[in-house]
């Protein structure tokens, strides 16, 4: 195993700022970042990654071989919730099992971004297709998770049934999956990036590209603060779920690497695909689940993804997956 790669990843500014944030909370520093700033930073990141991906997609053109990774991503994002649901339903009930499944089927944009920046640091190429894959993988897991819960008898959310509510009942399911704020901004920026191409990118890049890594540091500092605050809730949810939140990414990553190998992805895209499969959502899914599956307990699925899976992927997971990919692609 390539310990140098792990150490190298741990010693980059984004990961160190994440650690600094966690340390601040654990040492009980009163460092805090106003929620408006947190939200501003996340809007920036979604905007920037969306535009960037769209431009790269436009530059590559829609080759047929771009469709394969996209399809693989969507399938993975739909299968994971079903598997997780099967594993957890007995123990935690249908609502929570479905919520956790949706969480792990969907993706973490920040983990993805950190992986991109990891690849850039190594000089490994990656393609805009993966950004499109990321955008497409946000939502199917939400749909699948909620539908599974409904089939298992969990009642749809409605508030009195007058029907004029824009965000309840079955209609709200699709709405939450695709009109969810972060998903909408990401998809929208992707499309705008494709429409405006190189020229639009040139105008926007001094804001969306050059300061990106610096902003990512501040954002990860904040994520560290936020993640560490969830450690207590996580401890209360018990050893099983803690273990689960480490094993799922490893299992998903292994499967993803296998698929990427079979489909003959380039190493950079293989890492990104793996990271998408191994990461869990803490932005798009929790909000959608609160609205479509209010029975699910947010102090289970949110801390699992935010306080375990996310830190694991960002610090150890990414270099680990890369090591495995380097090995496999070399031997193959």
Interface with another protein by CB under 8 A: which residues?
30, 32, 35, 38-39, 42, 157, 159-160, 162, 164-168, 181-182, 225-226, 229, 233, 282-284, 286-287, 290-291, 294-295, 297-299, 302, 306
Stretch 88-117: interaction string toward Na ion, x if CB under 5 A: -------------------x----------
Q: Which is nearer to Na ion, 107 or 287 (CB)?
A: 107
> How far is the C-alpha of 285 from the C-alpha of 295, rounded, in Å?
14
Stretch binding a second copy (CB under 8 A), from 20-28, 74-82, 130-138, 302-310: 20-28
Q: Which is nearer to another protein, 124 or 295 (CB)?
A: 295
Q: How far is the CB of 101 from a second copy (least distance, A)?
A: 22
Joined tokens for residue 213: 């890594």
Q: Indicate whether 250 belongs to the interface with a second copy (CB under 8 A).
A: no
* Residues 180 and 141: beta-carbon distance below 8 Å: no
Stretch binding Na ion (CB under 5 A), from 24-32, 53-61, 173-181, 271-279: 271-279
Q: Which is nearer to a second copy, 213 or 261 (CB)?
A: 213
Query: 113-117: long-range contacts at Cβ-Cβ below 8 A with a sequence spacing of 24 or more?
Result: 113/45, 113/49, 113/216, 114/14, 114/15, 114/216, 114/220, 114/314, 114/318, 115/271, 115/272, 115/275, 115/318, 116/49, 116/272, 117/12, 117/14, 117/213, 117/216
Joined tokens for residue 96: 């929570």
Q: Which is nearer to a second copy, 69 or 182 (CB)?
A: 182
Instruction: Select the binding partner of residue 298 from another protein, Na ion, a second copy, none (C-beta < 5 to 8 A, by kind).
Output: another protein
| Type and span of the H or E element at 329 | helix 318-331
Q: Which is nearer to another protein, 246 or 291 (CB)?
A: 291
Distance, C-alpha 106 to centroid of its chain: 6
> How far is the C-alpha of 25 from the C-alpha of 30, rounded, in Å?
8
Q: Indicate whether 188 belongs to the interface with a second copy (CB under 8 A).
A: yes
Q: Indicate whether 210 belongs to the interface with a second copy (CB under 8 A).
A: yes
Q: Indicate whether 36 belongs to the interface with a second copy (CB under 8 A).
A: yes
Stretch binding Na ion (CB under 5 A), from 13-21, 38-46, 155-163, 276-284: 276-284
Burial 50-62 (b: 16+ CB within 10 A, else e): bbbbbbbbbeeee
Query: What is the SS3 assignment for 193?
Result: helix
Q: How far is the CB of 196 from a second copy (least distance, A)?
A: 5
- A 10 A CB-CB count for 222 gives 22
- List the interface residues with a second copy, window 267-296 (CB under 8 A): 287
78 Cβ contact list (under 8 Å, min separation 6): 105, 140, 141, 143, 144
Stretch binding Na ion (CB under 5 A), from 94-102, 174-182, 223-231, 272-280: 272-280
Q: How far is the CB of 230 from another protein (least distance, A)?
A: 8
* Residues 51 and 193: beta-carbon distance below 8 Å: yes
> How far is the C-alpha of 160 from the C-alpha of 285, rounded, in Å?
24
Could you list the residues that contact a second copy (CB under 8 A)? 11-13, 16-17, 20, 23-24, 27-37, 39-40, 43-44, 47, 51, 117, 121, 166-167, 175, 179-182, 184-185, 188-189, 192, 195-196, 200, 203-208, 210-215, 217-218, 221, 287
């Amino acid at each position: 195993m390539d310990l140098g790669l792990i150490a190298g990843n741990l010693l980059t500014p984004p990961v160190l700022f994440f650690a600094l944030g966690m340390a601040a909370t654990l040492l009980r520093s009163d460092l805090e970042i106003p929620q408006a700033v947190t939200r501003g930073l996340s809007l920036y990141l979604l905007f920037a990654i969306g535009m960037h991906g769209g431009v790269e997609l436009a530059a590559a053109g829609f080759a047929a071989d771009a469709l394969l990774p996209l399809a693989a991503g969507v399938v993975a994002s739909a299968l994971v919730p079903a598997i997780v649901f099967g594993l957890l339903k007995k123990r935690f009930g249908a609502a929570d099992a479905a919520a956790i499944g949706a969480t792990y089927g969907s993706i973490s944009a920040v983990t993805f971004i950190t992986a991109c920046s990891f690849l850039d640091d190594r000089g490994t190429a990656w393609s805009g297709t993966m950004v499109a894959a990321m955008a497409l993988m946000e939502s199917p897991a939400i749909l699948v998770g909620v539908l599974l819960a409904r089939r298992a008898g969990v009642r749809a959310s409605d508030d009195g049934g007058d029907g004029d509510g824009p965000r309840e009942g079955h209609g709200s399911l699709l709405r939450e999956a695709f009109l969810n704020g972060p998903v909408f901004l990401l998809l929208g920026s992707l499309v705008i990036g494709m429409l405006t191409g190189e020229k639009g990118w040139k105008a926007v890049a001094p804001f969306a590209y050059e300061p990106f890594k610096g902003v990512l540091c501040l954002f990860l500092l904040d994520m560290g603060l936020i993640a560490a605050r969830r450690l207590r809730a996580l401890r209360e949810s018990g050893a099983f779920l803690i273990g689960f939140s480490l094993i799922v990414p490893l299992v998903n990553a292994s499967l993803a690497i296998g698929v990427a190998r079979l489909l003959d992805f380039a190493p950079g895209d293989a890492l990104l695909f793996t990271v998408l499969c191994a990461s869990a959502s803490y932005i798009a899914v929790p909000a959608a689940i609160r609205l479509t599956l209010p029975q699910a307990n947010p102090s289970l699925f949110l801390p699992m993804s935010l306080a375990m899976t996310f830190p694991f992927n960002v610090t150890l997971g990414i270099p680990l997956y890369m090591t495995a990919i380097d090995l496999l692609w070399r031997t193959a």
